[in-house]
Amino acid sequence: MAERRQLIMLEKGFNQFMLNSGENQFRSEKYFKPGPEVNAALRKLAQAALQQGGVTIIGNMTFEAEKMSDCYVGMLFSNIKGVKIPLLITCGAKTEEAGKKMWAKFQKYYPADKSVIAMRHRRPPAPFVTDFMPDNGMPPDMDSFRFFMSGMSSDFCQCIGWAFLFPEVIDENEATSPEEELATQTEGQTSDSHDFTALINKWMKFGLDIKGTAGRAEMIAEAVERMKMLGLPAEITSKFQADGQPDFAMKGGRQLPLTESEKKMIRKLEGNDEYLVYALIRNDSCYGKMTSYIMVSRHKCDWGLEQNLLAENSTVLAYVHNSDVPRFSETGMLPVRCLSNGMLDRMDLGECSMENLVVLADNEKNSMSTPPQLRPSQRGLSGIRKDNYPLPEELRRFNYFYPDSGHVVMAIPKSLLPQAIKSGNFDDFECPIPCRYILTIGYCFHSGYVVCDVPYSKEDGLVLNDCWYTW
């Protein structure tokens, strides 16, 4: 782990961390080559965002930012009838000191947000960019809905990160930071004079032209093509082509009648002909009961990109509704696979999905096992699985494997125990502590929770040498 961090530091780049999901990707200068024209537009966007009132991104969405010497913070708003509704917060830190302060701010201003609580121990190393969607549910209008649906939000935050943390990357000759350009800007120029729709179009291989819409007949024809690409049986595709609507949901290779709530959701998604639902997949996972509504949008300009993603990665546009935890419902690109009988299933739930266990067992009797159950402190996190590290029996139910921490035991740091006792909510104070450390230092139990004397700081979470982590 230490060697990997050292290698990363040799490259110019940053970690891009999605606070809501815990997903992290390293963005390297090596793979960021937008070209001179887009670079110039990025510099313009960044400097305009620093002005009062920010800059219009697309439709009624505006972006405002504040920049300090080693960090920045920006917010994307949807402006509805004069009210600014926050959609997305993106911020970045170039130094560890700035990163600690920024992480503390999230905990201060969003103390009750479950994503913030879950991620408070997982601050990425600087330099980093963090994206965070406050708990507002669905985007309030179609401009913002299309922005997130198209996958643009991650690219947008990455570009802002380059502009503010490494301005020299987007302007190798001048190496001028956005605030320096703002200082030399002509007085009286307002953010309304900038139009960044062209820049947004260049971020996507197929631009976002919100005027290029399709009628229902065209959407049905497009859905039929995608059903063929997915490998759905011909009789199902032909029936949909005739009826223009699905009449069953898929679960573990079976066809099940649609429920009333599913029919109601289809009507909601297809309201005003914005989307056309052509397939449904159900999954019972450790994150909740989910139904994935696979769709086509009426915006023809998105079709080429979505077809490419389907052909290359078997990824489809879908709205995933979590009936157990509705706040975790979202629209995005969903990886799916075609089962041997032509039905579809999700590819990204892994061992959390009972249906996937059935498929992997090849329908053998008595081959099913109970899917791993996450602890309350892990809800909303992805990539975690139950572990089988050699531990005393009393620790086994606390043993998990984290992609970024390896073999761990979920335990409360001893220094946090008084706070946990006072609050009465012990789950909020659990941390993934390396198994090697637990076995070496020792542990005890309090009210059914493991407690370990491990170094912990409010800013950094666990403070341990990399030698304690094992994979």
| pLDDT at residue number 301 | 64
| pLDDT at residue number 207 | 33
| pLDDT at residue number 277 | 96
Q: Where are the domains of the chain?
A: 2-203, 216-360, 387-468
| pLDDT at residue number 359 | 37
Give the separation between CA 422 and CA 429, rounded to whole angstroms.
12
What does the pLDDT look like over 54-86, one tens digit per residue? 888 877 888 998 888 888 888 888 887 777 778
Angle, helices 142-149/152-165, rounded to nearest 10 degrees: 80
Q: How many CA atoms lie within 13 A of 269 on its CB side?
A: 27
| pLDDT at residue number 135 | 59
| pLDDT at residue number 380 | 60
Tell me the two tokens of residue 65: 């930012």
Give the separation between CA 318 and CA 292, rounded to whole angstroms.
6
What does the pLDDT look like over 245-285, one tens digit per residue? 999 999 988 999 999 999 999 999 998 788 999 999 998 77
- How many other C-beta atoms are found inside a 10 Å radius of the C-beta of residue 290? 21
Give the separation between CA 75 and CA 54, rounded to whole angstroms.
9
Q: Is the pTM of this model over 0.85?
A: no
The series of mean pLDDT values per 10 residues for the chain, 471 residues long, is 45 79 76 79 88 84 87 85 80 87 77 68 81 66 71 82 88 52 43 38 36 84 94 94 94 92 92 90 79 89 74 85 77 84 76 38 35 69 80 90 85 92 88 91 91 85 83 76
| pLDDT at residue number 191 | 36
- Which residue bears the tokens 């990109």? 305
| pLDDT at residue number 353 | 38
| pLDDT at residue number 333 | 78
| pLDDT at residue number 206 | 28
Distance of CA 234 to the CA centre of its chain: 34
